[in-house]
Each structure stands twice: as C-alpha cells, then as structure tokens.
Structure 1
Amino acid sequence: MASVLESQRTNLRNALLRLIEECKNMRELKQIHTQIIKSTSITQSHQLLLLSRLLFFCAISNLGSLSYANDIFRAIKIPNPYVYNIMIRAYASKNYSRNETHYSFKSFLLYKQMLREGIAPDCLTFPFLVKVCAARVDGFLGRSIHGQVIKFGLCGDVFVQNSLINLYSICGLPSFARKMFDEMANRDVVSWNSMIIGYLRNGDLDDALNLFRKMRNKNIVTWNSIITGFVQGGRPKDALEFFHEMQAASSDVMFRPDKITIASVLSACAQLGAINHGKWVHDYLRRSGLVCDVVTGTALVDMYGKCGSVERASNVFKEMPEKDTLAYTAMISVLALHGFSKEAFDVYGEMEMNGMKPNHVTFVGLLSACSHAGYVDKGRWCFDMMKHVHSIEPQVYHYACMVDILSRAGLFEEAERVIAGMPMKPDVFVWGALLGGCQMHGKVELGERVAKYLISLEPLNHAFYVNLCDIYAKSGRFEDVKRIRTLMKERGIKKEVAGCSMIEIDGVVHEFSVRGSPDVGMGRILQVLNVLKKDMNNKG
C-alpha cells in the first residue's frame, strides 16, 4: 500500500513538472501553483522541487513575474542554495532603468540573508554577484566579492574565475585580470577570450595579440574580438590581415565569418579606403548566404561612402529591406561628407516620414551638410529642433558644427555668442572652427586672438601657428609672419605633413610613408622610378 501511494505521489510530481515546463503565461503558472498548495499528497521534498521550478519560471523567464517570484521565495520554508541562486541571478540579470538601479543591490542583500541562514554559496552564486559589479563598473565591490570567493574556497572554479577576469577588465584593471588568468590551473576558451577582450577593451592591442598567438583552440568569438578590437584600436590594416588568416583556418564551421565579422571588416575597409576589398566582402556576403540585415547594410553604406562611392552607398541603402536610425544616419553622413546637402535633408525627411527618431549623430551629419552648403538658416533650424523637438542636448561637437556654419558665413558675432552660451567649456575644435572662418574671411584681430588662445592650450600644435601665419600673410603683415615662423623655430615646431598614403593592389593594402615602409619592397619601387626618370630624360 505504501509503495502504491509513493508511486501516485511520484506520478503527480512528474505531471506537475511537465505542466510547469509547458507553461506559457503567468495565468497558467498560478493555476499550477494553486494545485501544488492545495494537494495534500505532495511530500515536503516534492513540494520544494516543484516550487523551485515555479520560482525559476517566474524569476528568469521573460513570461514570468519577479514580484510573484518574491512571493514564492518567501513561502519556501527551507530554502537551499539553488533557490537563493535563482533569486540572486534574477536581480543580477534584469535590465533596470536608471531610477531602479538600486534593485540590483538586492542580489547582495539576498547573499547576506543566505549567509545569515547558514547556507553556503556555491560556484553559481558568485558569477551572478560579480555580474552586478561589472554592470556597475565597481571594482572595489568586485574585489570584496573576490575575497568572499577565496573565503569559501571557490577560487579554483573556472566559472568564478572567468567572471572575475571579465570584471577586472571592465573596471580597467587588466593587471588584476591577468594575475587571475595566470593563476588558473584549467583554462577554457572563455578564459582566453575574456582576457583577450579585456586587453582590447583597455587599448593594450599588443598584449591581446601576444595572447591570441598563444591560444590554440580559437572560436568565432576569438576571431571577431581580435578583428573588431584592432579596427576600433586604429589598426585596420592588421584587422584585415586577421580576417585573411581567419579565412585560411575556416575549414571548421566555428571559424567561418558571421555578421559581426563582416561589419568589422567593412569598418576596416572604410578606414583604409580599400574599396576593392570592401567590394569583395560585399560579394562574399552574397555568396555565403548571410542575410544582409540592418547591421551589415549600414556597415556597407558607411564603407562605400568613406571610400568615395556615394552611388554604391545609395544603392545599398535603397535595397535594405529594413532601416533603423543608424542606417538613416549613415546615409545622411555619407551625403553630407561629399557635399550632397539637399539629398541629405531628403533622406532625413524620409526618416521622419517612416517614424524614425534621429539621434545626436544624425544631427552632426545634418549640421555638416549645412556647413558644406552654406545653409545658415537650416543650420539654426536643426540646432533648435534638436533641443526643443527631439530633447537631444547639444554636445561640444554640435556646437563646433554650428560655429563652423556661422564662421563660414562671416557671422562672427553670432558665432561668439554661441560659444559664450555653451554649457560646457569650448574645446579646440570649437575654437578651431572659429579660427577657420577668420582665415577664410581675413578677420585679423579676432583670428589673432583665437589663434593665440589655441596656442596657449596646445603650444606644440603646428596647425594654429600655420593658420595665424596665413591670416597675417593675407592681410600683408609679413613681419608678423616672420615673427611667428621664428617663434616656431625657437620652440622646435615644424609643420607636419601627412607623409603617408595607401594603395590597394589585388586586395592587399600597401602603405607608403616618407619615414619608410618596411613592409613595402622599396628597392623594386626605386628601380621603376629610375627607369621612368631615364625615360623622361630621354624624351626631354
């Protein structure tokens, strides 16, 4: 008889567990919860298991309710680490608004309650607590949690160690992250990726590369991280080389480029002006069957635009099945960059008509379009609309654009009023825009005052001395030109030239510099130049 009763209880438990797994909304879950509470044949251990599953659904699922999860949690008479971990995870993982960030600290309150009840944390408890510290970029609190990890003897757990590496990297403490990494007895691919990403995030590109070279089992995250990190770190040529290396190792599906790879490589092409390489990537995107979504489409628009092919950028933009604010902003910026100001505003009109809200970058593009075309009234309209219609507070670069518009139009008094009314301190770009206008219109006294102020801010920047010399030269004040050049000589300031150019041949970007280019066969180039020189001499 006892065995029959036990079998019935087990069948009931399993039936309720299946119902919880198939649950689609809170209404169904509350009905299941009622059954669990009212049933007298469910044992205490079975009830704890069922309530734990209910708690997981309410706390973690997008269909759940955290407030209802709290009610279930309080009703559990004998909680265990699993139950506490669910609640700690729930509060650590939820995305709260700025006014609700204090809710994330409930994870720590639950942890303290857990300790008071004599329940020891396990290897799943600490990664969630560390996640909160990382989200708040709180290295001090993170180190306190690290102390607790050591206290409970969990410093050798790979999941805990990986979370701490990520925390220290986010908090700008790469040396702490590396110490943790070096002390690990067993590292997995996440450990290596976390450390590499940490170095990249802190701008330590060479350290990231050294670790990348030592890593044996790379995955798509590894490749995307190193490619994206070097693109964002200002070394796009290296990023393209990594992409080629990735392709050479792409026999395994795990190594094949995805949308993130494509977007990063296109960004590298945009920085280098490598349009042929960009076209190849575009063709690869079509051949590989990868969907050209809004992210890759926007990257293509940006790449073609920065490489000078406005028509191709426009065609990609028109063919995009879906467009968001970033896509529209990219197209507006491309058109503004190349002087198609009217077309930039046409795209903005389409953007508004489709219900897309502009962001602060959108207005940088529009203000730049106004500057290139001399649209003073439109510039004022954009600046006013940004603040009063879209509630976007102008940043220093918006003020720089506005000052540039007014200075180019010779409206110096208004430009100075804009600078005087700035809620933040004007930077060199704002003053530089005013100086550019003075140079254009021969505004000597104002230009002299602005240039001297800029020189006091950055005394080693050759551009301000050169601009002032140009203003003096245009007004016939050659003695002042001589004086400024003497001052530059005394201070050891030389006019810098770019001295660097790039050319793309057969998909390979070659860089040439006046300082020398070790990766370029200069001997062969000199031979060709000598042949050309002789040929030119022979032809007079």
Structure 2
Amino acid sequence: MIESKRLHIKNTLARLIHNCKNIKQLNQIHSHVITSPHLSPIDGSFLTSRLFFFLCTVSNSHSSLHYANKIFNLIQKPSLFIYNAMIRANATKIKDPFSCQCLVLYKELLCNDLIPDSITFPFLLKECSKRVDGMTGRSIHAHVVMFGYEGDVYVQNALISLYSECGVLMDARKMFDEMSNRDVVSWNSIIVGCLRGGELDIALGLFQEMNERRNIITWNSVITGLVQGGRAKEALEVFHEMQVSNNNKNMVRPDKITVANALSACASLGAIDHGRWVHSYLERSGIECDMVIGTALVDMYGKCGCIEKAFEVFKGMPDKDVLAWTAMISVIALHGYGNEAFELFQEMEAVGVRPNAVTFVGLLSACAHSGLVGKGRWCFDIMRRIHLIHPQVQHYACMVDILSRAGLFTEAEELIRSMPMRPDVFVWGALLGGCQLHGNVKLGEKVAQNLIELDPHNHAFYMNLCDLYAKASRFYDLKILRSLMKDLDIRKSVPGCSMIEVDGVVYEFSVNRSPEMLMEALRSVLMGLTNEMKVERYMGCIELI
C-alpha cells in the first residue's frame, strides 16, 4: 500500500512537471518533491533531474536559467547529462555575446573526469559562433577530433556554422566537402555562410545542387541573400521557382519571410506588376498580413510610385509599430510631400509611437526634397533635445543636403565642422550637389578634392567636378581634368543600367551598349505588346535616345 502510494505521488509529480506552464507552478512542484515524506531519495533525485531538464530545455522564461543554476549548484556530483543540459541552456538562453559560461562549464566537466559526447560539442560551438570567437572554436574543434566525434553530422554542422560566422569560408567549405553524410542543415549552413560572405554565385550553385532536399529555410536564405546582395531580379526568379518546385512530393509553401523578401525585391526593381502579384498571392494563400508584411507592402508600393495604394495598406493595418510609421513617412518623403510627412509624424506621436533614428532620416529627407529649411532645422533640433537621439552621419548628410540646396553654404560648412565624427562621402556629396545646383565652383573644387582623397578611384567625383567646370565655362580646367582622368585610367568600372517592367517582365538596359543596340532592345520589348498606349509610351523612350 505504501509502495503504491509512493509510485502514485512520483508519477503525478512527473506528469505535473511535464505539463508545467510557468515558474510559479514549478516552484510549487519542487516544494512537494523536497518536503514529501513518501518519496525515497532516488525518487527525489529522479524528479529533481526531470525538473532541472525542463528548466534547461523546455521553459523559455528568463528566470528559468537562474532557477536551473540554483539546482545545479546543489548537485554534488553532476553527471554528463546534467552538464550537457546546463551548457545547452546557457548557449540558447543567454543572448550576451560576451558570456563565457558554457566554456566555464566545459572546463569543469573535464576537471571532473567526465568525457564529453556528441551532444556537448554542438552547443559549445554554438556559443563560439555567438561570440564570433574563432580561436576558441578551433580549440573546441581539436577536442572534437581528440574525442573522436569529427564524423558526427551534428558536430560537423556546428563547425560549418562556426567557421561561416567567423568569416573563414574556406574552412567551412572544407568541412562541408569532407562530410560523408550530409543532411539539410549541412546544406543550409554552407549556403548561408556563402551568402554572408558575399559568394552569391557559389551559394546559387550549391542551391541548384540540393534539388529535392530544399526546405523553407533553404528557399528563404537564398531569396534573402540575393535581395541583400543587390540581385533582386534573381531573387524574384528563385521565388517563382519556389512556386512550382516540390520537396519530396510535398510543396514547400512560402511563409511570411519569403513574402516579405519578395516584396523587398519588387521594391528594389520598381516592379509594380510583380509586387501586385505577390500581394494577391498573399491574400489567396491565407498568410497573415502582420506588421512585417504590411510594412513591406507599404515600402514596395511607395518605391514603385503607388503612394495611394501604400497609404491604403498602411491605413488598413490594425497595429502599427515605429517601423510601419517610418516606412510610410519615408514613402511620402521620397515623393517630395514634405508637409504631409510632418502631418503623419504628428499623428504618429499622437498615438504614442516613439520615433527612432530612421524616422528622422525620412523626415529630414522630406525637408531636403521639399526645400523646407526651417522645418529641417526644427526636426534636427527636437531629435536631439526632445527625443534624445544622437545624430548619426546619415542625419548630418540630410541636414547638409537641406542647407546646400538652399544655397546656405556657410551654415552647411559650419555644421560639417561641428560633426563629432569624420564626414563621409555622403556628407561631402550632399555639399557638392548644392555647389553644382548653385554653380559655386570655388567651394565645389574644395569639396571634390576632399571626396577624391576619400576615394581616389571613384569616377563620379571627377565627373561632378567636370560638370562644375563645364557650367562655369572653365573649359581649360575641364580639359586638364579629363586628361588627368585619362592618365590615371579613371573610368566607370561598373556600367550603369536601368530596368523597366513590361507586362510583368523586368528588362535591363546597360549604358555601355551603343544607341543602336539599345533601340533594338527596346523595340524587341515592344514586339510582344498589344496595348497601344504602352507602345506609344515606350516609343517615346526610343525617341529620347
């Protein structure tokens, strides 16, 4: 009878631990484990281990790790299982990149004559990745080999992630190539490493090699990497490939991350037809249009010139954070509606949303595009004085742009001299733009020299100075400068290009083509058009060449 009661209490408490919802309940269960006269020491040890494991692996509460540490410190001889649970908890729950508790625990583990296993190493390597600590990571790698776990797929995946995170892509690729058994995590890890390292073509090659092994993380990583790498057109191509691709006979369906990045690609290209299609796909698929997706839609419609649609989406969002408000303000600013941007800013403050540094970049840009010098000064002042946001180099660049466009060069120069950081090319470029606008050759020469010193091989700065000389009829200086450019072999390294979207197809035109080639390319675009208005519009483009 007593034995039956003991088992009943033990099983009940174990079930309560498994179904526990919060730390308060766990405290109550722990109290029963400690105080119950019916449980044997073995039962107490078993239940404490279960409770400890729950704190380390299941609970996401911030206080759960602190509670687990208390229990850990009471255990006289922790087992490898206990050490692994604590290392895992510290690696996954602590976000501080300077924390080294995992490594301290690992050292204790070794000092207590315990031998690490394949579960120990992945979380130690995760900790090194979080710290971007390649030196310690290599030491852990040596231990992996020493203890014979260099062939474990989970350990190998963690090593690929470590070397990728630390920028040692060559070692990550070597580890991947030497793997005899790869899973989808292995492929995803090396692809993400290549994308972060700027090796987009290598990443695409690996992506094509994966074929049916791709999962949603694979697709999202590649699409995101291409968008961030400035290859938005290819990102859209991968997104459309995703629509018709099967993964082990199961369709890999886009999620919120996929849609947000596809919209970002449309915004970069100005591809409004693609953007509308992605929006309609979003509505058909039943994916929730949360704040992230809503903000991406506002940004896409705004950058594609559909301000009314952007505002319609913005107004339809039930909840708006600072990013959503900032996106809408930036869209209005982009199209030169300065006063309207400030009205929206006042509405944002009225509903209790605090602006951030990016919000003020949008507002200052609106002032620059609309010539609102007074409001620009006011905005720059309240950013520092009221909202306690320290101006960054982007804010100074916007403010210099406002003053330079208005011809207030003395004030612009004083502002540059007062900057707590060194002016970059955008700050000097804003001042040079004002000099070109107002024909201020003397100051323009000085600014152009500063820019050339910052980046002596950038052709744009030489061309800006050429433009200044041409407008001032200083043709002798223009001739000398062009001769200097020829001697220094200063030329445009990457040809400029433009993109237009016709009937949902994005066409790219490069400036290094001859006028005849460009006319032929444009005519080929027109071949498939049936709408007379479109033909008339694009024929106008040909006449301008």
> Corresponding residue for 2:60?
62
Q: 180, 200, 203: which is aligned to 2:198?
A: 203
Residues 459-483 of structure 1: per-residue CA shift (max 9 Å, x gap): 3333323322333333343332333
Question: Map of 1:369-388 to 2, 5 A cutoff?
Answer: 369-388=366-385
What's the CA shift for 1:508?
2.2
Q: Deviations over 1:60-116 (max 9, x none)?
A: 41345333322211222342122112221222222456xxx55x3122111111111
Deviation by residue 1:268-290 (Cα, 9 ceiling, x = unmatched): 11111111111111111111111
Amino acid at match of 2:224: T
Distance 1:363 1:524 in 2: 44
* Structure-2 residue corresponding to 1:136: 131
CA apart distance, 1:298: 0.9
Match of residue 232 from structure 1: 228
Q: What SS is found at the alignment partner of 1:501? A: strand
CA distance in 1, matches of 2:526, 2:384: 60
Q: C-alpha separation between the residues in 1 aligned to 2:291 and 2:81?
A: 40
Indicate how the Cα distance of structure 1 residues 106 and 460 shifts in structure 2: closer, same or farther if over 3 A, else same: closer
- Asked if the contact 1:48–1:76 (Cα under 8 Å) also holds between the matched residues in 2, the reply is no
Trace 1:187-198 onto structure 2 (pairs within 5 A): 187-198=182-193
CA contact (8 A) 1:500 1:513 kept: yes
| DSSP-derived class of the 1:79 partner | coil
1:22-421 paired onto structure 2 within 5 Å? 22-60=19-57, 61-63=59-61, 64-96=63-95, 102=98, 104-216=99-211, 217-249=213-245, 254-421=251-418
Q: How far apart, in 2, do the equivalents of 1:39 and 1:523 lie?
A: 85
SS of equivalent to 1:302: helix
Q: Which moved more, 1:443-452 or 1:508-517?
A: 508-517
CA shift in 2, pair 1:47/1:121, >3 Å: farther
Indicate the residue corresponding to 1:538 in structure 2: none
For 1:148 and 1:514, the matched residues in 2 are separated by 56
Whole-angstrom distance in 1 between the partners of 2:457 and 2:16: 73
Paired with 2:346 and 2:178, the residues of 1 have a C-alpha distance of 57
Specify whether residues 516 and 212 from structure 1 end up closer, same or farther in structure 2 by C-alpha distance, changes over 3 A only: farther
SS of aligned partner of 1:215: helix
What's the offset of the Cα at 1:388?
2.9
Displacement after TM superposition at 1:514 (Å)? 4.4
How many Å apart are 1:382 and its aligned residue? 1.9
Among all aligned residue pairs of Structure 1 and Structure 2, give the percentage whose two residues are the same amino acid: 61
| TM-score, length-scaled by structure 1 | 0.90
Evaluate the alpha carbon distance shift between residue 156 and residue 286 of structure 1 in structure 2; reply closer, same or farther with a 3 A threshold: same
Worse-superposed segment, 54-63 or 229-238: 54-63
Q: Deviation of residue 41 (structure 1)?
A: 4.5
Tell me how far apart the structure 2 counterparts of residues 52 and 322 of structure 1 sit (CA, whole Å): 43
Bigger CA drift: 199-208 or 393-402? 393-402
CA distance in 2: counterparts of 1:50 and 1:168, whole angstroms? 39
The answer to which of 388-397 and 198-207 deviates more is 388-397
**Alpha-carbon distance in 2 for matches of 1:512, 1:439:** 28
Structure 1 counterpart of 2:201, which letter?
D
Contact 2:295 2:324 in 1 (8 A): yes
Alpha-carbon distance between aligned partners in 2 of 1:279 and 1:36, rounded to the nearest angstrom:
60
Q: Is the 8 A contact 2:56 2:85 kept in 1?
A: yes
Indicate yes or no: 2:448 matched with 1:451: yes
The code of the aligned residue for 1:461 comes to: N
SS in 2 for 1:381: helix
Aligned in 2, Cα 1:521/1:242: closer, same or farther, shift over 3 Å? farther
**1:22–1:256 CA distance, 2 compared to 1 (3 A):** closer
* CA distance in 2 between partners of 1:93 and 1:146 (Å): 20
Provide Cα deviations, 1:118-164, integer angstroms capped at 9, x if missing partner: 22222222222212111111111111111222222222222221112
313-322 or 118-127: which moved more? 118-127
Partner of 1:512: 509
Cα deviation, 1:204-229, whole Å, max 9, x if unaligned, reads 11111111111131111111111111
Note the residue ranges of structure 2 that are not aligned, 5 or more in a row. Answer: 528-534, 540-545
CA contact (8 A) 1:51 1:76 kept: no
The 8 Å contact of residues 270 and 303 in structure 1, kept in 2 or not, is answered as yes
| TM-superposed deviation, 1:8 | 4.4
Task: Using the TM superposition, give the Cα deviation of residue 188 of structure 1 relative to its aligned residue in structure 2, in angstroms.
Answer: 0.9
Aligned equivalents of 2:477 and 2:231: distance in 1?
Answer: 41
Cα distance, 1:367 vs structure 2: 0.8
**Offset at residue 522 of structure 1 (A):** 5.2
CA distance in 2, matches of 1:145, 1:495: 47
Contact 1:298–1:330 (CA<8 Å) still a contact in 2? Answer: yes
Q: Who is 2:419 aligned against?
A: 422
Question: Which position in structure 2 is the counterpart of 1:503?
Answer: 500
The answer to whether the 8 Å contact 2:384/2:391 transfers is yes
Verify the 8 A CA contact 1:177 1:195 in the aligned structure 2: yes
Contact 2:245–2:251, Cα closer than 8 Å, also in 1: no
